[in-house]
Amino acid sequence: MAQHQVHHEVDAHTGVPTTGHEWDGIRELNTPLPRWWLGIFYATIVWSVGYWVVYPAWPLITGATQGVIGYASRIEIAKDLALLQQHRATQSSGLAEASLAQIKADPSLFRIAMAQGKAAFGDNCAACHGVGGAGSKGYPNLNDDDWLWGGTLDQIHLTLQHGVRVAGNNDTRVSQMPAFGKDGLLKPAEIRAVANHVRELAGLPTEASADLTKGRELFATNCAACHGDAGKGNKELGAPNLTDAISLYGMDLASLTETIANSRAGVMPAWGPRLDATTVKALTIYVHSLGGGQ
Amino acid sequence: MASQETDLGDLPLFAATKKVYPQSVSGPYRRAKWIILALCLGVYYLLPFLRWDRGPNLPDQAVLLDIANARFYFFFIEIWPQEVYYFTGLLILAAFILFMMNAVAGRVWCGYLCPQTVWTDLFLVVERFFEGDRRERIKLDEGPWTPNKIWRKSAKHFVWLMIAWWTGGAWVLYFADAPTLVRDLATLQAPFTAYAFIAILTFTTYALAGIMREQVCNYMCPWPRIQAALTDDDALNVTYRYDRGDPRVSLRQAERLRAKNEPAGDCIDCRQCVAVCPTGIDIRDGAQLDCIQCGLCIDACDNVMEKISRPKGLIGYDTDDNVKRRIAGEKPVYNPLRLRTMIYAALILLVGGAMVYQLATRRTVELSVLHDRAPLFVLLSDGSIRNAYTIRILNKRPDERPVALRVHGVPGLRIEAVGVTATADLRPIVSVPPDTSREVRVLVTVPADVHVNPTQTITFTASDLFAGEVVTVQDHFIAP
């Protein structure tokens, strides 16, 4: 067999050999790389093989090669999380010891509580109350100044700790408005009269045909015990103020009729058993700071 | 184009390094390079130790890149991370200055100012000190490994490593208080990062300035390629004037030829220009990628011309066009003031001016306002409407400042800051700690009886109660 011999042209103009590649009469000069560069290039190729050995690399049928140093990105995350917990523990030890009023008064504790509260709110509360506590129908807006169970730090903390209408929790916020229609306490015409009277209390227009006198009487006998004669509500009982501009379930006649007929009983979980004490404190501070805190 | 066929077998995979032995030379260009070298190295090594008093709360180092606290100090300037555009401005300015130098006199940067050139020059001084000049070095390299050779070589490498070490050492001093760090480094108390960076820079300095030298310029640096694309026919370059130099003949033959009135060039082919060249090229081959235009061949040639009593300037800063003009019997033309240089100068003035203006009108109090995304507005029980904003106030001064917040744009607007109890005339007074920022949640309320459009522009004003600085930011008030 003939020995492999390649004939390379030397470019006459520069005296540099060509690679033999040619495009439309343009020939490529062979300008070789320096030896050190080529050496480093080969060294990096050899080096890359090391990754196969050291790190998890090759996919297998039920897993992958693990690598000799036992590295895994999941382990790194677990380490980072442990570090975070440790970091938080030192930061939130201040929160654990201070009272809610002290936290609110101390700028550095307040900052930590706000940061922690904001994160916890996103994780636990935003599903119902919305991002930023904006609320929606049936889920209170936490930014406004209208509170069912009170908007002071301690009242918010109690609500968070024990929830609203949580079965089996002795300290939970609990009250029950009767379902006047469903339970046959009021007839449909009476419910209509009461609904119109509630609109009258709130300063909203009423139906021309409504019997407001009857509504007033029915309200006084059936509703005033909790909502008060003037409909101003009672935070002890979670009875909403019916006269202000804010309502949880709507003040239109249809919504009011449904509320009176079938009652409403929103439920909120008790966070005390689910979250640690400092997180509940931080949530209290955060919710209080949203704008409605009293 | 004709080409010759040669049997080379397989092509080489690599080009073996051709070692360059630059010879020492003296002259005005060499002197200029020494002065620039001393200035550059002096600034580099000593600048971290320069002090600059900024008051009790701030570091007193004139130039400091404080990574941990995210601040950059440069004499009277203190840059915050969000002002990083000053660096962008500096880089743009640097690029235009580089282009300008290139348009006026070629690779001035490469030949005189580039750290690669400066440190290579420094390393060559050490090399000459231990191994002698060009001839001695070639001889030493060719000779056997005698104790003398071993001593000279190892002494050279030792001093190189020392210089490289100091280079890395000075680098880290820009990132921490220099005197403290020097003490910590010496007592092994400094952070690991400091030692790691010193090690990295020791290695790179030693490798780049000691071993790789001209290969850095030829293979690694992109500027020679960019420069070749940017240059024009009017830019001065280190040029061999072949109109004067060719035909190259010996001194004696030149005299004979001149006596017979026949043409004889001034170049006597002494190859001094090649011997002194730090990249080992022959300038007489014309402009080339490897030429860093350091001007040392000009010094070498002028020295020879002086000895043989011919006019200086056979190699000098000139253009190829001028060489051709001389051959054609025309006068050389120099155009330092041409459209290109004027545009560069204008751009430098524009960018520099914009930066100076920005710096001069820079505020020490800044305000940023971010409207809550959810909820966009809140209806309160009395029917008034409230919007919430997250406000961040920056205090770039070294002392704590009370800042009063105000808002206007809608009649009857009320403003309160959550967690801030201090007020003056119903305006919350936010106290911002020195050289930092403070975030506060701000609630803005419109009374129920005031009509507001669904979106209304309102203006926030932050007034520094001490210095009287006032900043305003516009945002929106959103209503149902």
Contact B1 A12 (CB under 8 A): yes
DSSP B351-402: HHHHHHHHHHT--SEEEEEEE-SSSS-EE-TTS-EEEEEEEEEEE-SSS-EE
Q: Is residue B14 part of a domain?
A: no
Instruction: Choose the closest CB to B375 out of A17, A107, A134.
Output: A134
DSSP SS3 for B275: helix
> Looking at the structure, do residues B66 and B199 belong to the same domain, yes or no?
yes
Q: How far apart are CA B156 and CA A271, in angstroms?
A: 73
Instruction: Choose the closest CB to A132 out of B374, B379, B448.
Output: B374
Residues in A closer than 8 angstroms to B16, CB to CB, are 35
Contact B219 A34 (CB under 8 A): yes
> Looking at the structure, do residues B176 and B267 belong to the same domain, yes or no?
no
Mutation pick from B285, B379, B436 vs chain A, by most beta carbons of A within 10 Å, is B379
> Looking at the structure, do residues B75 and B181 belong to the same domain, yes or no?
yes
Mutation pick from B14, B213, B219, B289 vs chain A, by most beta carbons of A within 10 Å, is B14
Residues in A closer than 8 angstroms to B373, CB to CB, are 131-132
H or E segment at B470? strand B470-478
A33 touches chain B (CB under 8 A): yes
DSSP B40-75: HHHHHHHGGG-B----TTS--BSEEEETTTTEEEET
Report the length, in residues, of chain A.
294
Strands (E), chain A: 8-11, 18-23, 26-29, 33-34
Tokens 């959550």 locate to: B418
DSSP B185-249: HHTT-S-HHHHHHHHHHHHHHIIIIIIITHHIIIII-SHHHHHHHH--TTS-EEEE-HHHHPSP-
* CB distance A291 to A133 below 8 Å: no
Instruction: Choose the closest CB to B379 out of A7, A133, A246.
Output: A246
Right CATH for A153-289 from 1.10.1060.10, 1.10.760.10, 2.60.40.10, 3.40.50.1980:
1.10.760.10
Q: How far apart are CA A53 and CA A64, in angstroms?
A: 12
**Nearest C-alpha of chain A: how many angstroms from B184?**
28
Residue in A293, A274, A266, A286 with CA at minimum distance from that of residue A162: A274
Contact B378 A144 (CB under 8 A): yes
The mean per-residue pLDDT over the stretch A235-259 comes to 91
- Give the confidence band of A8 by pLDDT, cuts at 50, 70, 90: low
Q: Give CA A176 to chain center in angstroms.
A: 29
| Strand partners of residue B312 | none
Model-level pTM? Answer: 0.72
Provide the percentage of residues in chain A whose pLDDT is more than 90: 55
Q: What contacts B354, CB < 8 A, 6 or more positions away? A: B89
Instruction: Choose the closest CB to B375 out of A19, A38, A132.
Output: A132
Torsion of CA B370, B376, B381, B382, to 10 degrees: 70
**Nearest C-alpha of chain A: how many angstroms from B226?**
19
B18 touches chain A (CB under 8 A): no
Q: What is the ipTM of this complex?
A: 0.72
Q: How far apart are CA A184 and CA A192, in angstroms?
A: 14
Contact B375 A130 (CB under 8 A): yes
B188 touches chain A (CB under 8 A): no
Q: How far apart are CA B87 and CA B54, in angstroms?
A: 22
> Looking at the structure, do residues B371 and B318 belong to the same domain, yes or no?
no
> Looking at the structure, do residues B142 and B82 belong to the same domain, yes or no?
yes
Residue in B213, B375, B234, B177 with CA at minimum distance from that of residue B294: B213
A5 touches chain B (CB under 8 A): yes
Instruction: Choose the closest CB to A291 out of B9, B12, B378.
Output: B378
Instruction: Choose the closest CB to A132 out of B1, B372, B380.
Output: B372
Residues in B closer than 8 angstroms to A30, CB to CB, are 11-12
Domain locations in chain A? Answer: 153-289
> Looking at the structure, do residues B33 and B169 belong to the same domain, yes or no?
yes
B12 touches chain A (CB under 8 A): yes
- Give the confidence band of A126 by pLDDT, cuts at 50, 70, 90: very high
The mean per-residue pLDDT over the stretch A112-118 comes to 91
Count of structural domains within chain B = 3
Torsion of CA A210, A213, A219, A221, to 10 degrees: -140
Contact A36 B17 (CB under 8 A): yes
Q: Which pLDDT score is estimated for A3?
A: 46
Q: Which chain B residue's Cα is nearest to A286? A: B418
Tell me: cis bond preceding B115? Omega within 30 of 0 counts: no
**Nearest C-alpha of chain A: how many angstroms from B420?**
9
pLDDT at residue A271 tops 60: yes
pLDDT at residue A112 tops 70: yes
> Looking at the structure, do residues B471 and B433 belong to the same domain, yes or no?
yes
DSSP SS3 for A209: coil
The mean per-residue pLDDT over the stretch A28-52 comes to 89
Contact B11 A19 (CB under 8 A): yes
**Nearest C-alpha of chain B: how many angstroms from A112?**
13
- Name the B residues in 412-431 with CB < 8 Å from any A CB: 418-419
Contact B419 A104 (CB under 8 A): yes
pLDDT tens-digit map of A140-185: 999 998 999 999 999 999 999 999 999 988 999 999 999 999 999 9
Instruction: Choose the closest CB to B7 out of A7, A131, A246.
Output: A7
Which domain, by its residues, includes B38?
Answer: 28-230
H or E segment at A74? helix A73-97
H or E segment at B475? strand B470-478
> Looking at the structure, do residues B263 and B197 belong to the same domain, yes or no?
no
B7 touches chain A (CB under 8 A): yes
**Nearest C-alpha of chain B: how many angstroms from A232?**
11
* CB distance B479 to B385 below 8 Å: yes
- Name the A residues in 89-128 with CB < 8 Å from any B CB: 104, 107, 110
A22 touches chain B (CB under 8 A): no
Residues in A closer than 8 angstroms to B7, CB to CB, are 5, 7-8
Q: What contacts B380, CB < 8 A, 6 or more positions away? A: A144, A145, A146, A245, A246, B386, B445
- Name the B residues in 323-382 with CB < 8 Å from any A CB: 372-375, 378-382
> Looking at the structure, do residues B148 and B69 belong to the same domain, yes or no?
yes
Q: For residue B120, give both structure tokens.
A: 């290579």
Contact B388 A8 (CB under 8 A): no
Q: Is residue B332 part of a domain?
A: no
Residues in B closer than 8 angstroms to A27, CB to CB, are 3
B10 touches chain A (CB under 8 A): yes
Q: Which pLDDT score is estimated for B1?
A: 41
> Looking at the structure, do residues B165 and B207 belong to the same domain, yes or no?
yes
Q: Is residue B270 part of a domain?
A: yes
DSSP SS3 for A13: coil
Residues in A closer than 8 angstroms to B441, CB to CB, are 289, 291
Each residue of A112-121: b (16+ CB within 10 Å) or e?
A: bbbebbbebb
Instruction: Choose the closest CB to B219 out of A10, A37, A141.
Output: A37
> Looking at the structure, do residues B208 and B252 belong to the same domain, yes or no?
no
Contact B379 A33 (CB under 8 A): no
Contact A12 B5 (CB under 8 A): no
Q: Is residue B398 part of a domain?
A: yes
CB atoms closer than 10 angstroms to residue B29:
21
Instruction: Choose the closest CB to B441 out of A7, A35, A289.
Output: A289
* CB distance B181 to B194 below 8 Å: yes
pLDDT at residue A34 tops 90: no
Q: Which chain A residue's Cα is nearest to B416? A: A291
- Residues B329-334: contacts with CB within 8 Å, 24+ apart? B334/B234, B334/B236
DSSP SS3 for B332: coil
Residue ranges in chain B whose pLDDT is less than 70: 1-13
Q: How far apart are CA B121 and CA B127, in angstroms?
A: 10
Q: How far apart are CA A103 and CA A93, in angstroms?
A: 12
> Looking at the structure, do residues B223 and B311 belong to the same domain, yes or no?
no
Q: Which chain B residue's Cα is nearest to A241? A: B381
Q: Which pLDDT score is estimated for B10?
A: 61
pLDDT at residue A1 tops 70: no
pLDDT tens-digit map of A46-96: 999 999 999 988 999 988 888 888 888 889 999 999 998 888 788 778 888
pLDDT at residue A41 tops 60: yes
Q: Is residue B3 part of a domain?
A: no
DSSP B120-144: HHHHHHHHHHHH-SHHHHHHHHHS-
Q: What is the CATH number of the domain that holds B412?
A: 2.60.40.10
Residues in B closer than 8 angstroms to A118, CB to CB, are none
Q: Which pLDDT score is estimated for B221?
A: 92
H or E segment at A157? helix A153-162
